[in-house]
Homo-oligomer: A and B are copies of this chain.
Amino acid sequence: MSSATITQIRPVVALLTDFGMADGYVGVMKGVIAGIIPNVQLIDITHEVPPQRIATGARILANSYRYFPAQTVFICVVDPGVGSSRGAIALHAGEWFFVGPDNGLFSAILAEETIHSVVELSNPAYHLPAVSSTFHGRDVFAPGAAHLAATGGAILTQLGPARDPSSLAQLSTMQVTRQGSRIAGQIVHVDAFGNLITNIPLHMVPELFSAAQVQITFPEQGVSVNKRRQFFAEGAEPAQPFIYGDSSQYIAIAVYNGNAARTLGVGYGTAFTYEEEL
């Protein structure tokens, strides 16, 4: 066995939660994982999902997972129903594994990837010895994910009984429909720079940059945006909001060296209309 082969053996576990980093909860989950699989590569996606906002967690996961190596195990915990009867699941979808509550967090995965199998995490052999009613991230999801990572997913069917993929929770807010030249959309994410990410994927608007005119109107705020930019710094006018294609492949709005959310008075969940004139 060559050293090259050996150094490849670093299974990735990626974490996405709404726990914040202040209280040590994420560190405890990682301690549990490292105890089961010492050579794990732990990667934080985010722990700053706004508390219990499942749709934001689902969106960030959707924008991230494709960039991780095959076999990565994602632990996702935005879990307002912890301790209730909501399911705890592990998914093998596309080239990856996903572990978390069955509450819609995995909507994009279910919509976009081939689902190979889904199980309910009910086998206590893969839980911590004492399972609390409030911290399944530590007691159920962390050990389940660690055992999956340690075995390249081979353990999946032993974690619990199979679930029918069509029975899993899905978020309706991830759907958007076009009616001729109009689309009704909403802001689904405001990033740290104040950029406004919409729920309209770029593949729905192939004419975004070629149409004679494009306009996004926020009726409640009484503002609209019609400048378009393919590059942030192109013809940069300070304080001037513009439409662009975000790196996550959705329509977005920014202000060069500024904050579009503040400039437009627009935030998470704001509805708008997209119109184009060919």
Interface residues of A (CB under 8 A from B): 1, 3, 5-10, 12, 14, 16, 19-28, 30-32, 34-35, 38-49, 51-52, 60-61, 63-64, 67-69, 72, 80-84, 86, 132-135, 138-139, 189, 191-193, 230-234, 244-247, 257
Q: Is the interface of A mostly helix, strand, loop or mixed?
A: loop
Chain B residues within 8 Å of A60, by CB: 23-24
Could you tell me the distance between the alpha carbons of A31 and B16 in the complex, rounded to whole angstroms? Answer: 13
B83 touches A234 (CB 8 A): yes
Which residue on chain B has the smallest CB distance to residue A4? B9
| Cβ-closest 3 pairs across A and B | A84-B233, A83-B231, A135-B247
Chain B residues within 8 Å of A23, by CB: 46, 60, 189, 191-192
Could you tell me the distance between the alpha carbons of A154 and B3 in the complex, rounded to whole angstroms? Answer: 18
Could you tell me the distance between the alpha carbons of A43 and B49 in the complex, rounded to whole angstroms? Answer: 20
B138 touches A24 (CB 8 A): no
- Among A14, A27, A47, A68, which residue has the most Cβ atoms of chain B within 10 A? A27
- Among A23, A44, A72, which residue has the most Cβ atoms of chain B within 10 A? A23
A46 touches B63 (CB 8 A): no
- 26 contacts across the A-B interface (CB closer than 8 A): A3-B6, A7-B39, A9-B38, A10-B34, A16-B27, A22-B49, A22-B192, A23-B60, A23-B192, A24-B63, A24-B64, A28-B45, A28-B63, A28-B64, A31-B43, A31-B64, A31-B68, A38-B41, A38-B69, A41-B42, A52-B257, A67-B138, A83-B233, A132-B247, A134-B232, A139-B247
